[in-house]
Structure 1
Amino acid sequence: MSDEAAPGYVRVRLDLSYDGGDFHGWAKQAGGKRTVQGEIEDALRTVTRSRETYELTVAGRTDAGVHARGQVAHVDLPREVWAEQNGKLLKRLAGRLPRDVRVWALREAPVGFNARFSAVWRRYAYRVTDNPGGVDPLLRGHVLWHDWPLDVDAMNEAARRLLGEHDFAAYCKKREGATTIRTLQELSLVRGDDGIVTATVRADAFCHNMVRSLIGALLFVGDGHRPPDWPGKVLAAGVRDSAVHVVRPHGLTLEEVGYPADDRLAARNKEARNRRSLPTAGCC
């Protein structure tokens, strides 16, 4: 995966959003399952009248059912295609894409930009309500119903113990050869005037199921089934705990992806590709 477009190609940044309810996640899959990547690549091929599929690289691969408001991707297009299409490509995509996915901006990316490896953080929101009557029918595809009253203060106390750089193996679905060390930069919860509790989760990167597992642990604290120090103890143990549930995906939305200044892109790409390890304590 290169940080530069091949000769004769232009790297284009796409800013997009989608309702994940009817998608089998972001990434293309065998068997013809409907995915966000597949829909956008098919639309690009159609509107550029190309026989070639121009493959997208995304900032964060979302799972089936997860939504995105501020997703970012890039695609390398032949220079002549970009020159011909760039003034009308956005509108043509709007006419070709299904209603549950939209591309909002297309622009030539700065030198060294890589939607995945250049990112310095991703910010998600998870929305849940403990209203005894359930979820507003108009929000049912984006808000989880939890049928126990939630103590948001206790959840925030537990969340603070999880911040920083850790091995999040206890909250991740393990993938062969992949590290589970991440830096959790923000984890906080606020109850809105409508009663919906929104958890903001920001990290340099996330491993598989990490956000939904963290929220599952905090809900157990919020409803009184576990004390505020329990999620931190699970983290320190470093192994999956059967009491940590991976909550349903529809409450989760990728809100925003952050990138460094253009002159920091190359350095960031190199950092992101390095396999991480936690610092070890000194001998003395």
Structure 2
Amino acid sequence: MRIRMDIAYDGTGFHGWAKQPGLRTVQGELEKALNTLLIHRRENQMGAFEKLHVTVAGRTDTGVHAAHQVTHFDVDENLLQHCVGYLNLDGISALEHRLRHILPSDIAILSLSQAPEGFDARFSALERTYIYRIFDGNCKADPRLRNCVLTVRGSLNVEAMDNAVQLIIGLHDFGSFATANPGGTTIRKVKSAHWIRTIPENDEFRASTSTKEVARTKSNILSLPGMIMFTIVADAFAHNMVRSLTNACVSIGLGKRTKEWFGRKINTPLREGSTGPIEPCGLTLEHVQYPPDDELAIRAAAIKAKRSLDD
């Protein structure tokens, strides 16, 4: 049985998503908890066993957060029933109940469910939404949010940043701002991208630029008055892509770089030292979008093909 597991986490205390020897990671904590609850029982009753592996929609870097991350893992249905014990619950609900009790406090289970046929947390996804949050000199920074909002010295020109970032919408090679996985590519399709500064208005928030809302995100918990927010939606992201784009835009906002420079970096995908990533603390994965159930397998097959700029 394939199980979909939706989670949230504070990335401050993790060395990213991916499991690494000797380091605390989100994947490592999840797999440790699952194997404690499931595989340990199987080992006692059946001898030989294979540990569970968790697949994720998007790997986050060290210090990056997730308001809504999506994962999946495969488990024998009979093994799942061993989690029930004295609980008056079905196997999936029992596993969710027990996970909530043994996972560390910086990981939260949002939901557990049986995945529909063809579902793959990584390859079935249509798009991911990230938001980077910043306090600058034009707003009052809240020190309680220092782990999820970056404080920048000086005042940022949000309009200039938003004008520049419109250049990334569409299919581009982001080789100036990202590194490819082995055998992969830095070509990605950005569906929307914008910068705003939020302003309170009748208990809601409006933008100080032409963009009227933070699009495609389901969470506005961290939309405080005066905060600057970069929202970007793409079918997928290459390593360090969002943080490097953010850093470039902040340089523009501070008057250190220009829109023309940014355009040249998009048109010439080459890493040469001026487009490194910004600090991870302000970045959060907000949402992962999937197609209807009957299109999941088709989407997964299509996205596995290596893309080019001719796609």
1:201 alignment counterpart: 232
What secondary structure is seen at the aligned counterpart in 2 of 1:192? Answer: strand
C-alpha separation between the residues in 2 aligned to 1:133 and 1:263? 47
Aligned equivalent of 1:5? none
Contact 2:62 2:280 (8 Å CA) reproduced? yes
1:276 pairs with 2:282: no
Which of 29, 43, 58 is the matching residue for 1:39?
29
For the residue of structure 2 that corresponds to 1:255, the secondary structure is strand
What's the CA shift for 1:132? 6.6
Q: Secondary structure at the match of 1:87?
A: helix
Structure 2 counterpart of 1:58, which letter?
Answer: V
Report % sequence identity. 44
Residue 111 of structure 1 pairs with residue 138 of structure 2:
no
Q: Deviations over 1:211-255 (max 9, x none)?
A: 000001111111111222321211101111422231011110000
Question: Offset of 1:29 from its aligned partner?
Answer: 0.6
Structure 2, unaligned runs of 5 or more: 44-49, 83-90, 200-224
| Aligned twin of 1:213 | 244
1:267 Cα deviation after fit: 1.2
CA distance in 2, matches of 1:241, 1:224: 20
* Higher alpha-carbon deviation: 138-147 or 241-250: 241-250
Which structure 2 residues correspond to residues 131-170 of structure 1 after superposition, within 5 A? 131=137, 135-170=141-176
List per-residue Cα deviations over 1:156-178 (Å, max 9, x = no partner): 10011111001111110243321
2:19 pairs with 1:28: yes
Contact residue 162 and residue 235 of structure 1 kept, 8 A: yes
Say yes or no: does 1:225 pair with 2:256.
yes
Matching of residue 56 in structure 1 with residue 62 in structure 2? no
Question: Which runs of 5 or more residues in structure 1 are unaligned?
Answer: 1-9
Q: Distance in 1 between matches of 2:3 and 2:16?
A: 22
Number of aligned pairs?
270
Q: Which residue of 1 aligns with 2:72?
A: 74
State the distance in 2 between where 1:188 and 1:275 align: 27
Task: Give yes or no for the alignment of 1:92 onto 2:98.
Answer: yes
Matched-pair contact (CA < 8 Å) for 1:158–1:230: no
Deviates more, 1:186-195 or 1:10-19: 186-195
Task: State how far apart, in whole Å, the 2-side matches of 1:179 and 1:170 are.
Answer: 12
Q: Which SS does the other structure have where 1:170 is aligned? A: coil
Tell me which residue corresponds to 1:14. Answer: 5
What is the rounded CA distance, in whole Å, between the counterparts of 1:235 and 1:130 in structure 2?
A: 26
Q: Which residue does the alignment assign to 2:297? A: 266
Within the candidate set 103, 106, 130, 1:124 is matched to: 130
Report the CA distance shift for 1:130/1:228 in structure 2 as closer, same or farther (over 3 A): same
| Superposition CA RMSD, Å | 1.6
